[in-house]
Every structure is written in C-alpha cells, then in structure tokens.
Structure 1
Amino acid sequence: MLLTLAVASRQRRLSDEERKALLVRMDITFNHLPTLIEASQAWVLNHARPLIDSADIRLTGPARLFGTVQEGALKMLETLRCPVAGYEFEEFIHGIYNAFDERSTLIMLDPFPDERQDRLAEILGGWTQHIYRIGPQVENNGKKYALRIY
C-alpha cells in the first residue's frame, strides 16, 4: 500500500492532501487490526459450527466491498471445502437466493443496511436459520455482528 501511494504521488495522481488523508486512514486501520482479530476469534469460537455444517455458503455485500466479498468466499472455500460463492448484493437479489434451503448459509456484509437487505434477511430467515449480518450498524446477537469498519 505504501509503495502504491509513493508511486501515485510521484506520478502526481494524488495531491499531497489526498496522500496524507490516505496515510491517516491506513494508520487507523492498521492500529485497529489487533482489536478486530480478537473480536473475530471470539465470534468464530462461539458461532462457527453451523458454517462447518453448511451445504453451501453465499456471501453478499455492496459494490464497494465486492473485492472483500470475493476474497472472503475464496478463503471460506479453501477452509470449509463446500460450495461457496460471493455476490454483489444487487446481483444476488436477481434470483440467486432461490437456490437456498435449510442447509444454506448467507453472510451479508452490511456496512449500511437498508430496507431491502432487511427484507431479504427476513424472507430467507423462513428458509434457513443460517443468516449472518456483519457491519457497524447491526446488533450483536450471534447472528448479527456489529463490526466497526474503518
């Protein structure tokens, strides 16, 4: 990341103010990692069993987190060895959810939940109990994990 910033600055693709703002964001993010790792480990220890037993897993998130969704899907596929796929939320609501049943799992990255995401979780909640929502504005209750995103 620092190399990219240096190259972008040298090529004048970033202003000095933009570069400084990105450095501040990176510093905040990196300093938050130990807390994030600790909280994630605690969640996994208490809630991972249903993931292991899933027949299939789908991850969704907004367009700006599509890379995170895809990387998460890849890591889960490598670890859990069951069918895993990641979708941008708008793509997912075009019918992919129709393949869900009681053994399916949905993980929703919800940095800013809206009525459509709430409604989808409600509908699919009638088909499977394995719906997890992750984001700064969801409540912590085992299925929903309030995670401050920096």
Structure 2
Amino acid sequence: MSEENWDMYDYILESKDAVRSIVKHKDQILEKAVEYFFSKKINRMYIVGSGTSYHAGLAAQSVIEKILDIPIVVQYPMEFKDQEFLPDSDTLVVGISHAGRSTSTISALDKAREKGYATIAATAEKNKPILEHADCSVEIAIGPEYAGPKTKGYIGTVATLVLFALEIALKMNKITDAEYEKYVDEVLETTDQIPAIAEASVKWYEDNKQELIKSRRIIIVGYEQCKSALLEGTLKVLEAVRYSVTGYEMEEFMHGVYHSIDEDTYMLYIGCEGQYYDRMINMKNYFEKERGNKNFVITSDEGQVTNKNNLVYDFKNNHYFASLEYVVPFQVLARKLSLDLGIDCNVSSDPHFHKKMGSYTY
C-alpha cells in the first residue's frame, strides 16, 4: 500500500499478519540482541519510551518479569534521565522509539551509557538517529505505518519484547521448549482475533454512532492486565478526535474524578475478566442510575449483550496478553469517530510540531 493510499483502519487489520511475520522471522530479528544480552551481566531491565512505546512496555512488563525472573521497570525517558538514584551496574536499558527520532529516548539511552549500562534501541525505522545512541538494536518489524495514530506499532512492539524475553529465557533454561511454544501460541491466538474484533467494533460503532458523535468529553476506565490498553486506547482516541479524552485506572478514578461526571460525560469501560470486573459493573450501574451519563462497556460477558451500548465479544482474556485485543475497539473508535467528525486523523494537525518543540532529533 502506497503512502498516499494508507488509512489507519487498514493498519489495524494488518496487525495480525504483522505479529505472525515477527514470530516467523524472530531468529533474524532478535539474533544480535540476544547475543548482546549474553555478552553482558544483566540482573534488571529498564524499558523506556513515550506514548505508544511506553504503553507497549507496560503491556509486556508482567510477562517479561515472569519469564526472566528479574525486575523490569517501565519509565518515561525523562523520568529515567532525571532519576537521582539508579543501580550501579548489571542493567539493560531498552529504548523504544517507533520513528527512531525521539529526543527524550535518545537522552535516556545516553544517560544509560554514562552509567555503563547495556543499551538496546528498538525502532520500526532504519537509519534513524536513535541507532547511534545504543550499543545494539532491534527492529520492530511491522512494515510501513506512516504518520498518524499508531496501531501496528503498539501490538508489534509488545510481541517483539515478549519474544526477546522468551529467547533469552529458553537459552538460560528458565523455561522449557513447551513453555516457550505455549507463550507464542497465546500471543498468536490473541492477535489472530484482531480483524474479527475490528469488524465487531465497526458494527458496535455504527449501532451507537448517532450518540457517540455528540460526545465532547470521554473518560475511559480500566484495570489490571488492561491498564496498558486503557492508556493506549485513550491516546488513540485523543489523537484522532482531538477533544477531551482521559483515561483512568478504576481505583484511581474513584479517588476524586467521579465528582466531575455529569450527563454530558461519555464513559467507556474495559471490562476484561478479572477480580475487579464486578466492581466495575457496579460503578457503571451507579453512574447510569444516579448521574444519567452515557456508559459503554467492552467485555466478553454475555450478560451485558442486552444493552446495545455495550460491545460484547468473545475475547480470549489471556492474563498477559488481553491488552492486545481490548485496545482494538478504541483504535476503531478513533478512526470511525474522527471520520464522522470531519477530521482526517491520518494527517497530523501540525507536521512540523516535533521540529518546533525539539522533541525529535533530525
């Protein structure tokens, strides 16, 4: 697909094949980075990045900790750069920048090198500045994804980070061959659903379009394994519709934000299976009855299917990879709602913003 003909929705659908391609070519993609890992003594890992890169790190954090049995810290680059206390050694810093030009991620990698840490740059682009600021690199091999809200980038980065950890763990005998294959199969089972989830999301959107196009304030609430889907989904909708969209972890929302909910507030809930699901439904019911605002639940709970506001789909609900499926309805919402609002989210609101702000290195 040429740059002139691409569309955000097409890239959502391509995420499935992108992950399958990454798995198929994992040896070629990860070989140098895995060799580099074993050339160092690594007892902890920092994953640094902004926006989608940060959210992907959060999505992969728990499973990498489980697989490698070492602390994994996910931080914004400037938090890492400005942190006064950092461990003395035995640390790997993975800096993620899909465009390969993030000034803050480059600064974080420079700080890591000053500390004598091992450094890996992960990017979807070739021959970009970030590659000069790390000792090794990993390609996020998702294929083309031109300017606009990134979708393949998020899902492809999670898959790449998880496969990197699996390769290391297998060589260290921390997992068996069967466990390795089980994790890979779980990733593929989850991401193989993406086109079908997107199709269901389009139908859900069309059923609720006349209500959703009236919204000018959206709050997204989630919890547990879908915290990263919450943050990434919020960012996608915000980038596309370009009005007030905020996301909150559910307990954080309950500590004050609830005061601001009125009948003009639209709330979307990520209802993944887990220990907090019933608590979330209770909160949704409260707002419907006592505040009269608009509420929409994204879930696999068939008990919610009677309300057309809700998107009910047979999600896999994998403990580690649920964020890769629950993010899709928000990616679709971002594209469809912005289109109906007359906004072309494929086009940046200011193509020169990063040059003006110095947030990209050229």
Return the TM-score normalized by structure 1: 0.86
SS at match of 1:50: helix
Report if the CA contact (8 A) 2:298-2:311 is conserved: yes
Partner in structure 2 of residue 58 of structure 1 = 219
Q: Which runs of 4+ in 1 moved over 6 A?
A: none
Instruction: Output the CA distance in 2 between the equivalents of 1:81 and 1:11.
Output: 47
Q: Does 1:148 align with 2:314?
A: yes
Most deviating of 25-34 and 87-96: 25-34
**Aligned equivalent of 2:280, options 108, 113, 117:** 117
Aligned: 1:6 with 2:170: no
Match of 1:130 among 278, 290, 294: 294
- Residues 13 and 45 (structure 1 numbering): CA distance in 2 closer, same or farther, change over 3 Å? farther
* Distance apart, 1:13 and its partner CA: 5.0
| Number of aligned residues | 149
Amino acid at match of 1:123: Y
Q: Helix, strand or coil for the counterpart of 1:102?
A: coil
Distance 1:8 1:93, change over 3 A: same
The answer as to whether partners of 2:270 and 2:298 remain within 8 angstroms in 1 is yes
Moved more, 5-14 or 56-65: 5-14
- Check conservation: 1:59, 1:73, Cα contact below 8 A: yes
What is the alpha-carbon root mean square deviation over aligned residues?
2.0
C-alpha contact 1:62 1:89 (8 A) present in aligned 2: yes
The reply on whether 1:100 has 2:261 as its aligned counterpart is yes
| Conserved 8 A contact 1:69-1:87 | yes
Q: For 1:8-59, what per-residue CA distance to the aligned partner results, in whole angstroms no more than 9, with x for missing partners? A: 4345554323311111112212322221111111111221333332231111
TM-superposed CA distance for 1:97, in Å, is 1.5
Note the C-alpha offset of 1:68: 0.2
- 1:108–1:134 Cα contact (<8 Å) kept: yes
Unpaired runs of at least 5, structure 2: 1-158, 317-362
1:139 aligns with 2:321: no
The whole-number CA distance in structure 1 between the counterparts of 2:198 and 2:271 is: 19
Q: Secondary structure at the match of 1:48?
A: helix
Q: Structure 1 residues 70-79 or 127-136, which shifts more?
A: 127-136
Tell me whether 1:80 sits opposite 2:232 in the alignment: no
Amino acid of the residue matched to residue 299 of structure 2? G
Q: For residues 70 and 16 of structure 1, what CA distance do their matches in structure 2 show?
A: 33
Measure, in 1, the Cα distance between the counterparts of 2:191 and 2:227.
21
How far, CA to CA, are the matches of 2:210 and 2:234 in structure 1? 17
Q: TM-score normalised to the size of structure 2?
A: 0.38
**Highest Rg: 1 or 2?**
2
Q: Comparing 55-64 with 3-12, which one deviates more in the overlay?
A: 3-12
Identity of aligned residues (%): 26
Q: Distance in 2 between matches of 1:122 and 1:74?
A: 26
CA-CA distance at 1:119 after TM superposition: 2.5
Give the partner amino acid of 2:257.
Answer: I
* Alignment partner, residue 37 of structure 1: 198
